[in-house]
Structure 1
């Protein structure tokens, strides 16, 4: 085949011979052979899909063809040639999909992962001989008689440090460097073990965090009466501990005895130099090693650690050796989280904020101004000058707000993004940020400077802000985040973008964005878990709330899926009915949950696709999930039931739930039952991985996951298969038999590509597992000489007297000896930051999930009403009596039969309404003869009914219509008179197909516009005025602008279509257009949403007469 006919997107160029020498000839022969092999693969694909080789546009590749080509390639090619050919095909198909609009399923590329070298090699094993000599000398318990003063202090601390690395408790330099501070803080005990807490201060890259903290500490009259109840919800101790990351160093009995001996000899002060600085750990350790070594000691601190790692690899499990050798994996729980797990108590000072975070600011969202980037950046600099260094405290906040208001009023050159940023800053100073209810000007300016410049620059090509989809917003934010110069700056920008977009969602009803999966660098691990007792408390709190039964059920199931299966937030929200795999009426087939990409979410990676066994991970809750799935199947009226969402409003199977309906109540419940205001839904996933890993590692049930940890408040076991060997149940090696497959199985369940991510970010109790292993391995029988060396007693006679008082005889185990030394630790205990802040959990007297002001929950969903009416008409077509049809539909959609009967009557009256010209006002004439067939069909999505107009077809428009419907009902509840006047005016004059409302006068126009205010669409109108040919444009625009408050640029004049060419009034006849774009566009999604929402609101409120 001619090389010129090969499409350039395949990136396959025919090699050329550059010279005539032997080396070049051999290179040419090799590359030519490779070229022919790759070309043959492409020709095989071209035979199955003609035109693929030369790059024809719009090709459709059958899955069978793609599968056949790749399977043949994998069957015949060598490993190296396979990788080259496989990735050539993958990348070429990707380019074809992007550039030539190919429809093709593209496999994942092949990636070569470099194999890590083994821990124990021939060279490292040969170094164990001097190590064994050191260990033998150390275990002989040499005395320190030859040392005093600073040398004695270094020798004693060095001896204890050597015991730590000899055991394998801590074998990384970074962790050892944190030992002196932990030593001086003291030891903490709980039944069965003791530990030191290593703390590392995390240098926050978020300057605004400090600003907010300073803001919270200012006392100069900044907190007013309005926000006195909205102070920080975090206990000061929790605020402090969130600035650190922790690692608990659990001590074996021998390490505890050596530590006590060191404390009694030198106190809690780590050895110091002459300048009062801390003596480095390395210096103390090497000083001790040099004094006990018979031969040449290890050359360096690194060599000593290398020996310790090799020895531990031969004695401990690979996982625990890996954990002790690394500083950045499996971070330990924060002190408050650890205490919650041990004591099952909550913090007293924590108040959980449960009110709705929605903020409505009445302003007109601007159109995208056609200006250059430099012009908008200039306007941004003017906005930033509204904040001054002198603007601090209450006065500064008001002054900055007024400056911004003046900036918006005076300037006519602001683009949409600059205007929205300005309004966001106003909201921050009026409603607040993350710490206080109101931010000072300095903090608001910091928020603005973090994201404003790249956001304004990238938004110039963004298009219409109101009509942009979630994917378009996410792409914009991706571009903004890619401008970050460091991981810390990226994290700060992502936080501010999340705040900004939340503001846009609340004020402009824009689509939600899942910021957790906006691409980029890995963020700092948020360490927290939910205990089994807290999980059951949250379930009870949700069950006893006053929410509708449907929402309670969905929230409980989402909570279960996060805690039992470790589902991500987006995975829970986007589950489809088909993703719950089970066989009805066959309990022996336990079923599973399938996590995979769909139209609502793309997987975080290829490994996110997985199957989770219900019978193993959630056997008790399995029945509830299947019952809900069966209920959802029964709600569907079309054949495409399997593609509908598992969690949705009734009748809205294709619309995702809002956060406030699904995840926000769950998070409120978790915060309430734990007292920890930092808990999020994602911590359910951390809990699943943490507890499941302990269960996979333990040799017997209850060994690593104590029974006391898995009990609820009623002392019932709150974990599934608590007494079973889940390794054996999962088809892995039984407990007691080593197997690395357990880690891979856990990573598979968590949706990770390898155990690296699982261990580094999601497991938080490996410190406890290592401590339990050390307690078993280093608990020897101690001779009298060893006891004398470890105990701080003046003579062996004193030792004998003390042993007689304790009733000890002969050799004694180290753990037994520690039981009689409890009183000796009193001066060396670490302080408990939360000692006075814990109390037993009591269910709140007022359930924070009860929200009587949320009227949206009190009304059926608009699509639910439609689907119930459709089911009634379907039953009527099947000759079911009308009354029976109403009861069947009411039972399926959980409605009151009398209420449904009234809705049907109202709908029938509305659909019979006609215009002044006797045209149907809501019904399409061309569909009336075909209506029965469409209603009865199970393949047509949502046709027009005899008693209800058809909902919008496009899911985003339907979602917006549902939001508008509830806002109209809420508005009617708060302002019934104004709402009814506006709705009735719209009902009289609206038309079926276009956003063209012929209104008699300015009062009627203003009444209809009032309806758009609660919908946050007040500015999305045009006024098209029919005028005489001789009319004065400026005078007429002034009249209508003054009468309706619509700006001149949104008032358009057109000649009157009347035969006489004259109008009744000099100012013409005005028609109102409701649109986000140009009112001449054929597609008007805003009007479709407003029309359907208004129709359903009129139907529900009975305003049909």
Structure 2
């Protein structure tokens, strides 16, 4: 063996013999064999790359060397030691890459995956001998004349139960146990097929929302708990529909007619166990003295059904809590195409203006902030009476915010959130009791404050940082029930932050590791078409209507997640214009705007999943986006964005909220979300993949919209062939994997478990075809429960039946017999035929925000005009072409050109450029003409901020200023003109002549929710009294003393015009001394663009 000494990173040292006994000797020999095997591998690697064993710095190990070493390792290592040996080498290479800077391609480690046992084994197959004997005796359908009363009742129930198990529709113990309650509830019909609904209660993740009902108050006195509506009650249960074959329907009808909807009872009046009913029946049809246990019956039935049924349906029938059936309301919407009428769809989206002063995080400690949190919690209680009224709680919170100066940013946000809950209520009730708000705060308050102390700047935190914070909070909660409650409250809290401090939206409901119940719901094809029509008929701008329709199409047809849809780039839509043989595809991949939920989220989706008109709409939009840019980076820009803002994600209120409002309106279901489009895609596509002929499993009524037109694509095609799989009439496991790939799942487990909700229908249809035999006269006599064969002959002759008759034909004449045994529908009186709303709820969702173009759109218009002028096109023609390209009014664009030119010519009293950088002024034409420079300064517009988050905030500020001008035009124009007259492009502050001007500028910050983000830097003489000067400015401007700083005047005389000095207003969230001032950049550009579009330009051009 080599004399080399192994580097410590390999973690390989020679074994040592500790003693001389036999056991130690054997241990030593095993360790030495392992050591020699691993050392020989390192020597093989050393031969190709000297220095590997000793651990030299900066080695470069070729890929060919790594491949050869691992191939030899897999060839020569015993199978039992392969995993450990492979991972030894992988971990050593990883340490070398990390610690010694090795350049090496490291293979993945080997993992052991537990292998699932096969469905059919030799032992289970041998049990089919007994099973076949039972089935043969059962299929004879013997009549029992010797039994009566309770014994006959048990026998009839046992016969029906055995038929369900024999058909393979009831193969799990849990669903067998739920059958008695469903039996007593009654039968329901769907397309002339009877079914039972198995119901299982579950721990609701909305227990805290139910507390809103319990604590809802009128005034300050507690009220009684209002009754739950049926739509609210059904959300607390899991459902599975048990569709019955013709034989099992006849047997069930036989029981109902003989004994009614009552399960056999014991002496204590409890339901008789299912096992006793089965034993009572099997004892009479078999001579076997030993009873057969339920588990053995289920096992044998599972093995038998595995031989003649698709594996996915057998898997579904034998597993619990996978592919949950639709809730009753969702099923009725699909079945009858009706809408709920007694539910209200809340489309209001009130903004909450939050103005708070962010503290310096370095001066706060965990104990300080947790103490402040406890002080906040005391605002909801009184030591004397214990509970305070709503008015007192609001007053206490206001006092807490105004008096205390030790509140951190998170404590302040929590206090404002509680203030909002008391005034506007929660998700269930518009009014919340003080005790409910206290519960909400105690649920997330302490972990959120504790984990936020190292969070950084709340105002500039990214979506990833917020998700990491919430994930830390969730991971600190141990009980699963509490975890679900905390997640719900965090969703509510972050929605509040989105509205108040413009926090980036995140999808917390899909956070990895979050335990949550499956949200079972789908959108029907008819509702999908209604939602498209509702969006199209709204009064929103055409651009946003088109994007909302495409977001709805991509979610419903391709199953895109919300983040995937919002983060699509122009280059992600792949097509060949004019080539009909290549349909095109959509690429889903990570980019600068979104991360994939997992490695499986990267995928390609064929565009033949869309209908032809939908594909045309998508490609037309891509071409439109390609024509909107003035740079060569169009392929890297977003597919859905505001005009001219190709690098800024569109706000959810402009893209997804209108889609959700449309879905809720056309269905009447207030629980529908955008994510349910993904559930719909998986559910309907799985039915298409399981069919043996086109649309075999989809009733015609499901395919049509309200106008009778086909609403699903490829209804006459074999989509298995379109997907490159085996034809429909051939079995293939690849279909499930293909659906999982389209859905972005690592395996079909998640696809079937959480997203497919119509497998119950597929199982029912398969069972209906499989167990619909032609019955002889004796079998008909038994199943129809007629008193004599003469009665059977008479019954058949009246219906012109001759010879053997299929069970389904017999059932067709027994429809009226089901009526006394139908289950009650709690939603019976809440359904109505869909009628388009008289007032479109989307007309008001974006009424003010979208009346004006985006600030970046206006900039891009002005830039395109100047680019065309550089190429010799006249100004009038350039304006006309730009107006046509951006769908703007030419007269309005002409006015913006004139206003921009006038503003950019403004100079200060010292003749410096007010809105232009001096160093860029002489190079402006080259920058404008270049297609490689991102948003340079123009002749008619200042340069926008470069950083994306600053540019996005500037766009929000722009619309808020325009909205403010619409509500208070006089005050807005005074503030904007004051800012215009004293703003400088090259300076990070505003020099204002007096307190009145300062107050006018600060009023402008109020609608921007930045009222408190100001410093006042006062230049004073050397002999000025600091306390007196601060008191003057604090009284005149209402700026706190701690945000007023005094500096020596730069005047050579050392004196100022007034004893209280000259004030410079700094607009900043952090330190005003910082070189980076993103807030000021956003405010400055937004104010400039607002002044430009409003035409607030004076004539002399002097600021």
TM-score under structure 1 length normalisation: 0.93
- Report the counterpart of residue 698 of structure 1 in structure 2: 691
Cα distance in 2 between the residues matched to 1:733 and 1:277: 52
Residues 854, 994 of structure 1: CA spacing in aligned structure 2 closer, same or farther, 3 A cutoff?
Answer: farther
Cα distance in 2 between the residues matched to 1:220 and 1:67: 75
- Report the counterpart of residue 207 of structure 2 in structure 1: 207
Instruction: State which of 915, 930, 951 in structure 2 corresponds to 1:937.
Output: 930
Cα deviation code 1:934-962 (max 9, x no counterpart) = 21111111111111111111111111111
User: Does structure 1 conserve the Cα–Cα contact (< 8 Å) formed by 2:275 and 2:293?
Assistant: no
User: Does structure 2 conserve the Cα–Cα contact (< 8 Å) formed by 1:667 and 1:680?
Assistant: yes
Residues 931, 844 of structure 1: CA spacing in aligned structure 2 closer, same or farther, 3 A cutoff?
Answer: same
- Say which is worse superposed, 834-843 or 454-463, in terms of deviation: 834-843
Cα distance in 2 between the residues matched to 1:1049 and 1:671: 49
- Say which is worse superposed, 271-280 or 147-156, in terms of deviation: 147-156
User: Does structure 2 conserve the Cα–Cα contact (< 8 Å) formed by 1:1021 and 1:1074?
Assistant: yes
User: What aligned pairs does 1:146-295 form with structure 2 within 5 A after superposition?
Assistant: 146-215=146-215, 236-295=229-288
- Report the counterpart of residue 744 of structure 1 in structure 2: 737
Cα distance in 1 between the residues matched to 2:731 and 2:349: 51
- Report the counterpart of residue 949 of structure 1 in structure 2: 942
Residues 984, 326 of structure 1: CA spacing in aligned structure 2 closer, same or farther, 3 A cutoff?
Answer: same
Residues 442, 475 of structure 1: CA spacing in aligned structure 2 closer, same or farther, 3 A cutoff?
Answer: same
- Report the counterpart of residue 389 of structure 2 in structure 1: 396
User: What aligned pairs does 1:497-508 form with structure 2 within 5 A after superposition?
Assistant: 497-508=490-501
Cα distance in 2 between the residues matched to 1:860 and 1:848: 22
Per the alignment, in what secondary structure is the counterpart of residue 10 of structure 2? Answer: coil
Instruction: State which of 341, 345, 351 in structure 1 corresponds to 2:338.
Output: 345
User: Does structure 2 conserve the Cα–Cα contact (< 8 Å) formed by 1:578 and 1:643?
Assistant: yes
**Cα offset, 1:1014, TM superposition:** 0.6
Cα deviation code 1:185-204 (max 9, x no counterpart) = 10011223110001111222
- Report the counterpart of residue 16 of structure 2 in structure 1: 18
How many pairs align?
1086
Instruction: State which of 968, 972, 978 in structure 2 corresponds to 1:975.
Output: 968
- Report the counterpart of residue 372 of structure 2 in structure 1: 379
User: Does structure 2 conserve the Cα–Cα contact (< 8 Å) formed by 1:609 and 1:751?
Assistant: yes
User: Does structure 1 conserve the Cα–Cα contact (< 8 Å) formed by 2:380 and 2:388?
Assistant: no
- Report the counterpart of residue 416 of structure 2 in structure 1: 423
Tell me whether 1:303 sits opposite 2:296 in the alignment.
yes
Cα distance in 1 between the residues matched to 2:218 and 2:156: 48
Cα distance in 1 between the residues matched to 2:675 and 2:846: 28
- Say which is worse superposed, 697-706 or 105-114, in terms of deviation: 105-114
- Report the counterpart of residue 814 of structure 1 in structure 2: 807
Residues 276, 73 of structure 1: CA spacing in aligned structure 2 closer, same or farther, 3 A cutoff?
Answer: farther
**Cα offset, 1:46, TM superposition:** 10
Residues 106, 643 of structure 1: CA spacing in aligned structure 2 closer, same or farther, 3 A cutoff?
Answer: farther
Residues 1004, 389 of structure 1: CA spacing in aligned structure 2 closer, same or farther, 3 A cutoff?
Answer: closer
User: Does structure 2 conserve the Cα–Cα contact (< 8 Å) formed by 1:221 and 1:394?
Assistant: no
Per the alignment, in what secondary structure is the counterpart of residue 795 of structure 2? Answer: helix
Residues 557, 45 of structure 1: CA spacing in aligned structure 2 closer, same or farther, 3 A cutoff?
Answer: farther
User: What aligned pairs does 1:454-603 form with structure 2 within 5 A after superposition?
Assistant: 454-603=447-596
User: What aligned pairs does 1:875-1024 form with structure 2 within 5 A after superposition?
Assistant: 875-1024=868-1017
Cα deviation code 1:628-665 (max 9, x no counterpart) = 11111111111221111000011111100011100001
Tell me whether 1:1050 sits opposite 2:1043 in the alignment.
yes
Structure 1 gaps of 5+ residues are 225-230
- Report the counterpart of residue 30 of structure 1 in structure 2: 34
Cα distance in 2 between the residues matched to 1:106 and 1:903: 58
**Cα offset, 1:601, TM superposition:** 1.1
Tell me whether 1:78 sits opposite 2:74 in the alignment.
yes
User: Does structure 1 conserve the Cα–Cα contact (< 8 Å) formed by 2:575 and 2:584?
Assistant: yes
- Report the counterpart of residue 228 of structure 1 in structure 2: none
User: Does structure 2 conserve the Cα–Cα contact (< 8 Å) formed by 1:392 and 1:442?
Assistant: no
User: Does structure 1 conserve the Cα–Cα contact (< 8 Å) formed by 2:380 and 2:434?
Assistant: yes
Structure 2 gaps of 5+ residues are 19-24, 1099-1103
Per the alignment, in what secondary structure is the counterpart of residue 208 of structure 1? Answer: helix
**Cα offset, 1:399, TM superposition:** 2.1
Residues 26, 649 of structure 1: CA spacing in aligned structure 2 closer, same or farther, 3 A cutoff?
Answer: same
Instruction: State which of 1070, 1095, 1101 in structure 2 corresponds to 1:1102.
Output: 1095
Instruction: State which of 629, 635, 653 in structure 1 corresponds to 2:646.
Output: 653
User: Does structure 2 conserve the Cα–Cα contact (< 8 Å) formed by 1:157 and 1:284?
Assistant: yes
Cα distance in 2 between the residues matched to 1:714 and 1:527: 27
Cα distance in 1 between the residues matched to 2:883 and 2:384: 60
- Report the counterpart of residue 126 of structure 1 in structure 2: 126
Residues 634, 411 of structure 1: CA spacing in aligned structure 2 closer, same or farther, 3 A cutoff?
Answer: same
Residues 107, 940 of structure 1: CA spacing in aligned structure 2 closer, same or farther, 3 A cutoff?
Answer: farther
Residues 425, 744 of structure 1: CA spacing in aligned structure 2 closer, same or farther, 3 A cutoff?
Answer: same
**Cα offset, 1:685, TM superposition:** 0.7
Cα distance in 1 between the residues matched to 2:681 and 2:221: 43
User: Does structure 2 conserve the Cα–Cα contact (< 8 Å) formed by 1:964 and 1:1093?
Assistant: yes
- Say which is worse superposed, 633-642 or 352-361, in terms of deviation: 352-361
Cα distance in 1 between the residues matched to 2:157 and 2:384: 53
Per the alignment, in what secondary structure is the counterpart of residue 1024 of structure 1? Answer: strand
Cα deviation code 1:729-748 (max 9, x no counterpart) = 21111111111111111111
Residues 899, 773 of structure 1: CA spacing in aligned structure 2 closer, same or farther, 3 A cutoff?
Answer: same
Cα distance in 2 between the residues matched to 1:127 and 1:821: 38
Cα deviation code 1:671-693 (max 9, x no counterpart) = 11111111111111111111111
User: Does structure 2 conserve the Cα–Cα contact (< 8 Å) formed by 1:616 and 1:730?
Assistant: no
Residues 472, 96 of structure 1: CA spacing in aligned structure 2 closer, same or farther, 3 A cutoff?
Answer: farther
**Cα offset, 1:489, TM superposition:** 2.0
User: Does structure 1 conserve the Cα–Cα contact (< 8 Å) formed by 2:159 and 2:281?
Assistant: yes
Residues 365, 720 of structure 1: CA spacing in aligned structure 2 closer, same or farther, 3 A cutoff?
Answer: same
Cα distance in 1 between the residues matched to 2:382 and 2:909: 64
Cα distance in 2 between the residues matched to 1:405 and 1:591: 58
Query: Aligned-residue CA RMSD in angstroms?
Result: 3.0
Residues 434, 97 of structure 1: CA spacing in aligned structure 2 closer, same or farther, 3 A cutoff?
Answer: farther
Cα distance in 1 between the residues matched to 2:212 and 2:32: 66
User: Does structure 2 conserve the Cα–Cα contact (< 8 Å) formed by 1:14 and 1:32?
Assistant: no
Cα distance in 2 between the residues matched to 1:467 and 1:668: 30
Cα deviation code 1:848-884 (max 9, x no counterpart) = 1112873220111111111111111111111121111
Instruction: State which of 599, 605, 610 in structure 1 corresponds to 2:598.
Output: 605
**Cα offset, 1:37, TM superposition:** 3.2
Cα distance in 1 between the residues matched to 2:394 and 2:102: 52
User: Does structure 1 conserve the Cα–Cα contact (< 8 Å) formed by 2:244 and 2:764?
Assistant: yes
**Cα offset, 1:153, TM superposition:** 2.4
Cα distance in 1 between the residues matched to 2:105 and 2:926: 37
User: Does structure 2 conserve the Cα–Cα contact (< 8 Å) formed by 1:369 and 1:413?
Assistant: no
User: What aligned pairs does 1:818-857 form with structure 2 within 5 A after superposition?
Assistant: 818-851=811-844, 854-857=847-850
Cα distance in 1 between the residues matched to 2:1043 and 2:871: 51
Cα distance in 2 between the residues matched to 1:753 and 1:686: 16
**Cα offset, 1:788, TM superposition:** 2.4
- Report the counterpart of residue 22 of structure 2 in structure 1: none
User: Does structure 2 conserve the Cα–Cα contact (< 8 Å) formed by 1:610 and 1:751?
Assistant: yes
Cα deviation code 1:756-785 (max 9, x no counterpart) = 111001111111111111111111122222
Per the alignment, in what secondary structure is the counterpart of residue 695 of structure 2? Answer: coil
Residues 1066, 917 of structure 1: CA spacing in aligned structure 2 closer, same or farther, 3 A cutoff?
Answer: same
User: Does structure 2 conserve the Cα–Cα contact (< 8 Å) formed by 1:699 and 1:735?
Assistant: yes
**Cα offset, 1:523, TM superposition:** 2.2
- Report the counterpart of residue 1020 of structure 2 in structure 1: 1027
